[in-house]
């Protein structure tokens, strides 16, 4: 029951299926019969969206090249952006990884501490993993998710599951089943509704193949965490990696990801009070010019924008940036749902998990950061 429904921005055909099944599962006690049904879909080469602790994934058997190609079609993903392979148990590692001893040692040390969890490791790819998964790279991204539904699905399927985030390419990643339904209903076989994702932004992507392990995408597992376990690590400047013309180490980082329909501008500066003042001023100006304007803040900031006609959304608390990763994508989608055209966002400190937040915001804003400390000439 499939039909081809036009082409995406990259000129590739988009696959549409009409008969998506939505299955509700308890994340602490998933019904084995329903898991068996979903696993059967995976085994037969189908597409299943499933929850993880980071964001929802759009999964297919990592060993089925046709099914993997259908992932790219279903979400309109550029064909040079590799997928992460998900495993449920370390015994599946040897099926997908063929790294050297140093990689194996690093992976073991980090896995002991952070798996299951929001850490993807880039290691040598076993030839059994089809080219389609890694887009021809000699490496593969591997992760063990900390979500029982996800791990049961992989276990019962009996194969590693390749899965990018379950959103249309370019849209904010889905942190609820509702987001997945918005983007992919009619394009996949099954959408599992397993509740909210606790972390809410994608995993840390760590390349363990080089001399110094390098974070290619910041996430909830931080540079400090990596250095603590391995004794070294680096976080190359992801702003630079996303500029045109450079060959990024992580192909996904060159795309303007995570964008809501609204234009996003980030306001940064030393003092959060000054940032809020500037956003309030600029917000009122934009409203006067007839632009429906929103403000992305935290619970500490909402009072600064009250009574002005701005659409104010809090995405968590500055006291715990994991609440911000949890709420960020939902907030961006809520602005779109409210018909907001311009979002003025408060910046976050670029330390620890703040790097993950700022990386996603920066991409949502297409790199538009306004420094409120700089006086106009
Ligand atoms: P997503 O699955 O949508 O969360 O995106 C996966 C991210 O991991 C993208 O930024 C990819 O470019 C990156 N990634 C996956 N596999 C590799 C790999 N073998 N080498 C470098 N980056 C990778
Ligand atoms: Mg993604």
Q: Which atom of ligand 1 is nearest to the CA of 164?
A: 2
CATH architecture of 2-230: Alpha-Beta Complex (3.90)
Candidates 246, 252, 255, 363: which one to mutate for ligand 1, based on the most atoms within 8 Å of Cβ?
252
Between CA 77 and CA 252 the distance in angstroms is 10
Cβ atoms of 233 and 215 within 8 Å: the answer is yes
Is the CB–ligand 1 distance for residue 251 below 6 Å?
yes
Q: Which of 349, 321, 354, 338 is nearest to 260 (CA)?
A: 338
Q: Residue 366 corresponds to which tokens in the numbers above?
A: 């297409």
pLDDT, tens only, 258-273: 678 999 999 999 799 9
- In order, the DSSP letters of 310-329 are -EEEE--BTTBHHHHHHHHH
Is the CB–ligand 1 distance for residue 84 below 6 Å?
yes
Is the CB–ligand 1 distance for residue 82 below 6 Å?
yes
Q: Looking at ligand 1, which residue's alpha carbon is closest to its atom 23? A: 250
Give 270: exposed, middle or buried? Use CB within 10 Å, 0-12, 13-18, 19+.
exposed
Is the CB–ligand 1 distance for residue 323 below 6 Å?
no
Candidates 55, 84, 199: which one to mutate for ligand 1, based on the most atoms within 8 Å of Cβ?
84
pLDDT, tens only, 157-187: 999 999 999 999 988 899 999 999 999 999 9
Percent of the chain with pLDDT over 70: 90
List beta partners, residue 266: 345, 369
Is the CB–ligand 1 distance for residue 135 below 6 Å?
no
The Å distance, Cα 360 to ligand 1 centre, comes to 15
Q: What is the domain class of 263-371 according to CATH?
A: alpha beta
For residues 45-55, one letter each, b for 16 or more C-beta atoms within 10 angstroms of the residue's C-beta and e for the rest, the string is ebbbbbbbbbb
The Å distance, Cα 121 to ligand 2 centre, comes to 16
Most confident of 90-94, 168-172, 372-376: 90-94
Tokens 């994991």 — which residue?
Answer: 322
Give 362: exposed, middle or buried? Use CB within 10 Å, 0-12, 13-18, 19+.
buried
Answer yes or no: is pLDDT of 377 > 50.
no
Model confidence band, residue 239 (pLDDT cutoffs 50, 70, 90): confident
Q: Looking at ligand 1, which residue's alpha carbon is closest to its atom 7? A: 252
Q: Which of 65, 115, 60 is nearest to 93 (CA)?
A: 115
Is the CB–ligand 1 distance for residue 217 below 6 Å?
yes
Comparing 375 with 85, the larger pLDDT belongs to 85
Q: Which atom of ligand 1 is nearest to the CA of 134?
A: 19
Report the pLDDT value the prediction gives residue 189, as an integer from 0 to 100: 97
CB atoms within 10 A of CB 169: 20
Sign of CA dihedral 70, 139, 201, 334: negative
Q: Which of 323, 307, 303, 305 is nearest to 315 (CA)?
A: 323
Q: Which atom of ligand 1 is nearest to the CA of 57?
A: 2
Contacts of 18 (CB under 8 A, 6+ apart): 1, 3, 186
pTM assigned to the model: 0.92
Is the CB–ligand 1 distance for residue 145 below 6 Å?
no
Q: Which ligand is nearest to the CA of 217?
A: 1
* DSSP E strand boundaries for the chain: 2-7, 13-17, 21-24, 48-50, 57-61, 84-86, 119-124, 139-143, 161-163, 190-193, 204-207, 214-217, 263-268, 293-297, 311-314, 342-346, 369-371
Mean pLDDT in the chain? 92
Phi-psi region of 268 (alpha: psi -120 to 50; beta: other; left: phi over 0): beta
The Å distance, Cα 261 to ligand 1 centre, comes to 24
Answer yes or no: is pLDDT of 147 > 80.
yes
Q: Looking at ligand 1, which residue's alpha carbon is closest to its atom 12? A: 252
Answer yes or no: is pLDDT of 246 > 60.
no
Cβ atoms of 265 and 362 within 8 Å: the answer is no
Sign of CA dihedral 156, 159, 160, 163: negative
Report the pLDDT value the prediction gives residue 247, as an integer from 0 to 100: 59
Answer yes or no: is pLDDT of 240 > 80.
no
Q: Which ligand is nearest to the CA of 85?
A: 1
Between CA 37 and CA 87 the distance in angstroms is 19
Report the pLDDT value the prediction gives residue 225, as an integer from 0 to 100: 98
Q: Which ligand is nearest to the CA of 143?
A: 1
Domain ranges of the chain: 2-230, 263-371
Between CA 102 and CA 153 the distance in angstroms is 30
Q: Residue 132 corresponds to which tokens in the numbers above?
A: 């389609």
Cβ atoms of 53 and 119 within 8 Å: the answer is no
Cβ atoms of 301 and 316 within 8 Å: the answer is no
Query: Lowest mean pLDDT: which of 5-19, 33-47, 319-333?
Result: 5-19
Report the pLDDT value the prediction gives residue 8, as an integer from 0 to 100: 47
pLDDT, tens only, 290-347: 999 999 999 999 999 999 999 999 999 999 999 999 999 999 999 999 999 999 999 9
Model confidence band, residue 1 (pLDDT cutoffs 50, 70, 90): very low
């Amino acid at each position: 029951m499939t039909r081809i429904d036009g082409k995406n921005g990259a000129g590739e055909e988009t696959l549409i299926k009409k008969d998506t099944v939505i299955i509700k599962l308890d994340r602490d006690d998933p019904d084995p019969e329903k898991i068996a049904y979903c696993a059967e879909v995976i085994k037969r080469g189908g597409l299943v969206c499933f929850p993880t602790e980071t964001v929802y994934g759009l999964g297919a058997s990592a060993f089925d090249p046709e099914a993997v190609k259908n992932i790219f079609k279903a979400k309109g993903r550029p064909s040079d952006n590799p997928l992460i392979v998900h495993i449920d148990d370390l015994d599946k590692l040897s099926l997908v990884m063929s790294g050297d001893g140093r990689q194996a040692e690093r992976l073991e040390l980090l896995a002991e501490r952070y798996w299951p969890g929001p850490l993807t490791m880039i290691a040598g790819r076993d030839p059994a993993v089809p080219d389609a998964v890694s887009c021809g790279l000699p490496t593969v991204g591997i992760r063990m998710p900390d979500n029982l539904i996800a791990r049961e699905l992989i276990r019962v399927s009996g194969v590693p599951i390749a899965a990018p985030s379950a959103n249309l390419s370019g849209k904010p990643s889905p942190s609820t089943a509702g987001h997945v339904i918005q983007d992919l209903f009619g394009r996949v076989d099954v959408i599992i509704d397993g509740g909210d994702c606790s972390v809410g932004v994608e995993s840390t992507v760590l390349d363990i193949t080089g001399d110094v392990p390098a974070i290619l995408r910041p996430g909830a597992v931080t540079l400090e965490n990596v250095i603590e376990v391995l004794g070294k690590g680096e976080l190359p400047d992801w702003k630079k990696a996303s500029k045109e013309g450079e060959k990024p180490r992580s192909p996904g980082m060159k795309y303007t990801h995570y964008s809501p329909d609204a234009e996003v501008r980030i306001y940064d500066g030393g003092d959060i009070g000054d940032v809020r003042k500037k956003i309030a001023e600029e917000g009122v100006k934009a409203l006067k010019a007839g632009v429906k304007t929103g403000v992305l803040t935290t619970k500490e900031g909402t009072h600064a924008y009250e009574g002005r006609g701005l659409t104010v959304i809090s995405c968590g608390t500055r006291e715990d940036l994991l609440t911000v990763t949890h709420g960020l994508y939902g907030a961006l989608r809520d602005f779109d749902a409210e018909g907001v055209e311009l979002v003025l966002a408060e910046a976050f400190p670029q330390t620890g998990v703040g790097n993950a937040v700022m990386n996603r915001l920066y991409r949502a804003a297409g790199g538009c950061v306004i420094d409120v400390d700089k006086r106009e000439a």
